[in-house]
Amino acid sequence: MTVIRTGLSALLLLGAWAGVGTGPAAAAPETASAAEPQLSPGLLAAMQRDLGLGAEQAEARLAAEKTATAVERKARRAAGPAYGGSWFDVKTAELTVALTDARKADAVRSTGARVTLVSHSARHLDSVKRQIDGLKAPAGVSSWHVDPKANRIVVNVVASERRDNDVQAFLDRARAAGPIAVEETTEAPTPFAAGTVGGDPYYTGNVRCSIGFSVHGGFVTAGHCGRAGAAVRGWDGSHIGTFQGSSFPGDDYAWVSVGSGWWTVPVVLGWGTVPDQLVRGSAEAPIGASVCRSGSTTHWHCGSVLAKNETVNYSQGAVHQMTKTSVCAEPGDSGGSFISGDQAQGVTSGGWGNCNGGGQTWHQPVNEILGRYGLRLHTA
């Protein structure tokens, strides 16, 4: 089901709201811009929860950090080439500035900063880091950064890989570049973007659709959701990939490549109604069999297979070889997963009705999509 109409309505509504209160009559008094912005209650609550602070402590820390931010710019100018970096000291609630030249200390202190003397300037440490950036790091090296407090490049390695030959060789090359310190971490970092999960939303242009099934290299979905070459964003707004192939009408299928920290997962979301479902294959269920659908608008709903190889005549043109079901769906569910047990069935195309009053929905069989593009279903 396409959501172009819904998306345009939302944009029009947003535009209408944006126009409310504009013009001279709605202008705020000039004194309002000079007022101190109020602290977000949500931010203060999060600081209290995550940093173990009281309400007054959270407000005081924010004020001190704001002051330190302003001081840092002045202190850096006063230090000149002797600047070795700076950091906010939680205990003193002040900015500390590292200097390589004691003669600059008074000028830096006059800005409101504390001073400590070090051997290496920030410029030198940045140069060392650039050299290390040019090295090929093994998996056991998780990260590295300039640490002004240590006056070194801190290289983080996974503790279990500390003695690995490749890790040791990397550290030797890093030491040749300049001063480093090695710290251990428990695990290697991984991207926090989510895997592509059946039923999850994605966005292209002003359209929201749903992921069908993960395949090796991407996922399959409905063709009417986007044309080949269109960029795709995930539920968090980050770039997932690009439509590599798309057909609509005639057919209603497409596939999207996955990258930018996203990966494929053989799972269909249960949305809390049922446990998330593993996908183990794509054996086609017979007419009369139960089938369930997962989508980003109406989540998880079930019904029965009513017919196969049905031609559906949409206003945009006929679509062939569709499977008709008694499962309801609504705009935004397009492209989402139809699954029977642990077997992938197809991607949601269109239908009639809704999930309040009932209706029927058609899906494009997944095996046809896999065969058309030479894709391999990602299975558990």
Structural Rg of the chain based on CA atoms: 29
Please count the CA atoms within 13 angstroms of the CA of 285 that sit on its side-chain side: 24
**Any idea what the Cα angle at residue 146 is, between residues 84 and 72, rounded to 5°?**
45
Tally of residues, the chain: 380
**Any idea what the Cα angle at residue 356 is, between residues 352 and 357, rounded to 5°?**
60
Return the bridge partners of 35, or none: none
Compute the Cα dihedral for 20, 21, 24, 25 and give only its sign. positive
* Rounded Cα distance, 107 and 40, in Å: 36
Tokens at 82, concatenated: 């002797």
Coil vs helix vs strand at 244: strand
Would you please indicate which residues are annotated as catalytic (active-site) residues? 224, 252, 334
Please count the CA atoms within 13 angstroms of the CA of 82 that sit on its side-chain side: 19
Q: At what angle do helices 41-51 and 55-79 cross, to 10 degrees?
A: 90
Secondary structure (DSSP) of 1-31: ---HHHHHHHHHHHHHHHHTT-SGGGPPPGG
Nearest in space to 155 (alpha carbons), one of 97, 138, 118:
138
Secondary structure (DSSP) of 181-204: EEEEESS-----SPPEEET-EEEE
Distance of CA 49 to the CA centre of its chain: 24
Return the bridge partners of 180, or none: 153
Tokens at 46, concatenated: 């999060």
Please count the CA atoms within 13 angstroms of the CA of 357 that sit on its side-chain side: 3
